[in-house]
């Protein structure tokens, strides 16, 4: 993740911070300085934000651990200035499983809230939320408890991409198909988004931002499910490229450039004595040119981390794979023998064809 900084692992899941994350810390410091707050008050504000995002991390970890229960792996958790994202490899197939995974995050926030209240009672700290008029040492835990309730409630709004949208879709999927349930949940979510934007113009501009975020998130979720729907039941063999753009590992970079310019292929299979050795894409060729490696062989710059699939695998598996490795050239085998290759551009063309065919049948 080039745009994010790796900070460690939690429960075996990689934890990243997006490069924009420090902006919120800088903004808090500057805004507090302009308000004339003391250094101690600014410090408590920064510590509060860090504690808040620790709670966000636990929220996302709740989703990840619930998904793991249903054999769904979480690639990583990334923290952004506006929240966190647990990147699940896929959404659980069964509605009940999706419901559990979606509920897990808000449940974590409610648990944190209860634990903080118990801690405050044991420590004889006031639990009167009406006393929160500023942020300091004496109401730090109380403020953190309050914001966890807010996080849980906000995420339960029935609109994608929040947890509430997935909860609504899971409940609707108990009666309808996943596509129909998603479309209904999308329309409800976009209606809520429009309300956010409308009231944001009159009361709080930040609501406009949230409304746009929700509207676009709902649209993206609908498109994703529609794509998965048209691919269902189809195999990788249907879109595999049999005419494989091949180049030997002993070839020079100049030869690779000529091959790139002579055709439309952007990904190439690098071979050794006729067997797959690695892959090479346009970006790697351009990068090597900028580093003045024209006379070198492709053995030094080829990506030898090969990705294989069987020709009988579902296209949905290929979609998940290429969403994680966008520049990959996937090698497709048939009973252990090279059958062809497929890349993201090839898959996108296939999806467009399937979508057009699906629309044609509806009309």
- Domain spans in the chain, listed from the N-terminal domain onward: 1-156, 157-232, 236-362
Give φ, ψ of 37 to 5 degrees.
-75, 155
Q: Which fold has domain 236-362?
A: CBS-domain (3.10.580)
- How far, in Å, CA of 208 to CA of 212, rounded? 6
pLDDT, position 25: 81
**28: burial class by Cβ within 10 Å (0-12, 13-18, 19+)?**
middle
210 Cβ contact partners less than 8 Å away, ≥ 6 residues apart: 196, 200
Distances (CA, A) of 74 to 40, 63, 203, 225, 308: 38, 9, 38, 19, 21
pLDDT, position 66: 94
pLDDT, position 156: 93
Q: What's 303's DSSP letter? A: B
Rg (CA), the chain: 25
Contact assessment for residue 140 and residue 50, using Cβ atoms and an 8 Å cutoff: no
Beta-carbon count within 10 A of 118 CB: 11
pLDDT, position 316: 85
What residue ranges of the chain have pLDDT lower than 70?
Answer: 1-2, 133-134, 293-294, 358-363
- How far, in Å, CA of 169 to CA of 180, rounded? 9
**Residue pLDDT, tens place only, 185-216:** 999 999 999 999 999 988 888 889 888 988 98
């Amino acid at each position: 993740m080039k745009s994010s900084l790796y900070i460690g692992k939690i429960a075996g899941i990689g934890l990243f911070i997006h490069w924009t994350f420090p902006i919120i810390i800088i903004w808090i410091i500057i805004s507090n300085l302009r308000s004339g707050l003391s250094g101690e008050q600014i410090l408590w504000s920064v510590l509060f934000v860090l504690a808040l995002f620790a709670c966000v991390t636990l929220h996302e970890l709740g989703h990840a651990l619930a998904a793991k229960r249903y054999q769904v792996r979480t690639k990583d958790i990334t923290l952004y200035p506006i929240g966190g994202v647990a990147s699940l490899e896929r959404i659980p197939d069964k509605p009940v499983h999706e419901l559990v995974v979606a509920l897990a995050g808000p449940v974590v926030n409610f648990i944190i809230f209860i634990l903080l209240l118990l801690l405050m009672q044991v420590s004889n700290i006031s639990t009167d939320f009406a006393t929160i008029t500023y942020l300091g040492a004496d109401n730090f835990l109380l403020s953190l408890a309050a914001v966890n309730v807010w996080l849980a409630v906000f995420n339960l709004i029935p609109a994608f991409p929040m947890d509430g949208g997935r909860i609504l879709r899971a409940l609707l999927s108990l009666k309808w198909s996943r596509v129909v349930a998603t479309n209904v949940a999308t329309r409800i979510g976009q209606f809520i988004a429009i309300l956010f934007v409308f009231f944001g113009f009159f009361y709080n501009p930040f609501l406009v931002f949230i409304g746009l975020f929700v509207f676009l998130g709902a649209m993206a979720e609908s498109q994703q499910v529609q794509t998965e729907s048209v691919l269902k039941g189809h195999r990788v063999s249907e879109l595999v490229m049999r005419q494989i753009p091949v180049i030997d590992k002993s070839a020079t970079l100049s030869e690779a450039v000529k091959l790139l310019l002579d055709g439309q292929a952007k990904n190439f299979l690098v071979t050794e004595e006729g067997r797959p050795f690695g892959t090479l894409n346009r970006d790697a060729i351009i990068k090597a040119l900028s580093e003045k490696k024209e006379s070198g062989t492709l053995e030094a710059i080829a990506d030898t981390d090969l990705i294989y699939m069987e020709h009988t695998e579902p296209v949905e598996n290929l979609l998940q794979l290429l969403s994680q490795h966008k520049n990959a050239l996937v090698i497709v085998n048939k009973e252990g023998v090279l059958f062809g290759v497929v890349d993201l551009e090839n898959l996108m063309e296939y999806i467009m064809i399937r979508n057009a065919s699906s629309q044609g049948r509806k009309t």
